Chain A
Amino acid sequence: AQSVTQLGSHVSVSEGALVLLRCNYSSSVPPYLFWYVQYPNQGLQLLLKYTSAATLVKGINGFEAEFKKSETSFHLTKPSAHMSDAAEYFCAAGSGSARQLTFGSGTQLTVLP
């Protein structure tokens, strides 16, 4: 069974600062990994996904994530935070054979002016 751990339920950064949201997965086989963003009272929007191609994945809105098998991590980063980045971020994992996603508990990102 897979599990996804997001360290830090709340992260605050200043506008223009680096954003780093942590995600670790537990899986017996390399999973497919996703980062989603959720704005208040809305569904989830896909930021980026890792599907065993390049380990550094670039997504929308300037976000990127690096798959590190040795660390079982898939941390999300953005060089310079913008006020519009304030939202809830979810890391999720899914295997090729399973149809379901396992979600982390989420990280609320606050961007301070």
Chain B
Amino acid sequence: GAVVSQHPSWVICKSGTSVKIECRSLDFQATTMFWYRQFPKQSLMLMATSNEGSKATYEQGVEKDKFLINHASLTLSTLTVTSAHPEDSSFYICSARAGQVAPSEQFFGPGTRLTVL
């Protein structure tokens, strides 16, 4: 099956610094990538949708200047949390969708645990 990787798997940073998370589709070309945020014992909340070569579409309430998303190629999307604060601590999960598979099917990465001190 399709494999999606994320790097790093966990990161600890100081308040005010920026953190970049990478999401890669390893064996397929991802026309669309999604970024989710998950708080402990809660469901996934969609943050943004990105298509290769175009600007990301952010969900209501998600600050696009704080959560910068770049989808520079068909296999790589990055999420940068700028000027991170403790309230940004969360589990961030990306997913990728390929044009060849059934509509709406997404393949998920293993997630990145962000802790902001």
Interface bits B73-117 vs A (CB < 8 Å: 1, else 0):
000000000000000000101010100001111111111010000
Q: Which of B46, B93, B97 interacts with A44 by CB under 8 Å?
A: B93
Please list the residues of chain B having a beta carbon within 8 angstroms of any beta carbon in chain A: 1, 4, 6, 32, 34, 41-44, 46, 49, 91, 93, 95, 97, 102-111, 113
Given A105-B42, A106-B42, residue A41 in contact with residue B113 (CB < 8 A): yes
Given pairs A32-B103, A101-B34, 8 additional interface contacts (CB within 8 A): A41-B111, A43-B109, A46-B1, A46-B105, A51-B103, A94-B104, A94-B105, A100-B34
Q: Which of A34, A42, A95, A103 interacts with B44 by CB under 8 Å?
A: A103
**Contact A99–B43 (Cβ < 8 Å):** no
- With an 8 A cutoff between CB atoms, is A45 at the interface? yes
**Contact A99–B102 (Cβ < 8 Å):** no
**Contact B93–A96 (Cβ < 8 Å):** no
- Find chain B residues with CB under 8 A from A43 CB: 4, 6, 93, 108-111
Q: Which of A43, A94, A96, A99 has the most CB of B within 10 A?
A: A43
A106 to chain B: closest residue by CB: B43
CB distance from B37 to the nearest CB of A (A): 12
The CA of A99 and the CA of B107, in the complex, are separated in Å by 13
B105 to chain A: closest residue by CB: A49
Given A42-B111, A44-B93, A45-B108, residue A32 in contact with residue B43 (CB < 8 A): no
Interface residues of A in 84-113 (CB under 8 A from B): 90, 94-96, 98-101, 103-106, 108
- Find chain B residues with CB under 8 A from A100 CB: 34, 46, 49, 104
The CA of A106 and the CA of B43, in the complex, are separated in Å by 6
B97 to chain A: closest residue by CB: A99
The CA of A90 and the CA of B106, in the complex, are separated in Å by 13
CB distance from A78 to the nearest CB of B (A): 21
**Contact A98–B93 (Cβ < 8 Å):** no
**Contact A99–B32 (Cβ < 8 Å):** yes
27 contacts between A and B (CB under 8 A): A32-B102, A36-B108, A41-B91, A42-B110, A42-B111, A43-B93, A43-B109, A43-B110, A44-B95, A46-B107, A49-B105, A51-B102, A51-B103, A94-B104, A99-B32, A99-B97, A99-B104, A100-B34, A100-B46, A100-B49, A100-B104, A101-B34, A101-B104, A103-B43, A103-B44, A106-B41, A106-B43
